[in-house]
């Protein structure tokens, strides 16, 4: 049973259309997956940034507490007072960064 030339062309055209549709869907899903992962990575990065800020704030607070405990009943010299002042400024900066970050991130 011989297949006519017209039938071969039709089968070839149908096959080409199916392959093209499959290719378009493949590219679509590949791009969707890629950008979905990019959004997920962005969220993870934001959470990591927040965690880093919170840890830095905690470390600064602990250092302040150590200094206060060490000099609880004694007079602080000028260098210790300066370090305490710098730590308080850093603490305030980190708190402001965290507040700005919390407003920015849903």
Q: What is the pLDDT along the chain (106 residues), one digit of tens a residue?
A: 566 888 888 888 999 999 999 999 888 888 777 776 777 788 888 889 999 999 999 999 999 999 999 888 788 889 989 999 999 999 999 999 999 888 876 5
- Count of structural domains, the chain: 1
Range of the domain at 80: 5-104
Using the Cα atoms of residue 45, residue 50, residue 53 and residue 54 in order, give the sign of their dihedral.
Answer: negative
The dihedrals phi and psi of 75, each to the nearest 5 degrees, come to -75, 135
């Amino acid at each position: 049973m011989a297949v006519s030339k017209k039938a071969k062309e039709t089968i070839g055209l149908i096959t080409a259309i199916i392959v093209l549709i499959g290719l378009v869907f493949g590219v679509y899903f590949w791009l969707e997956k890629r950008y979905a992962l990019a959004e997920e990575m962005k969220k993870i990065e934001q959470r990591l940034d927040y965690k880093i800020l919170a840890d830095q704030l905690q470390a600064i607070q602990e250092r302040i507490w150590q200094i206060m405990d060490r000099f609880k009943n004694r007079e602080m010299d000028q260098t210790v007072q300066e370090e305490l002042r710098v730590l308080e400024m850093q603490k305030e900066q980190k708190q402001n960064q965290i507040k700005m970050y919390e407003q920015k991130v849903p």
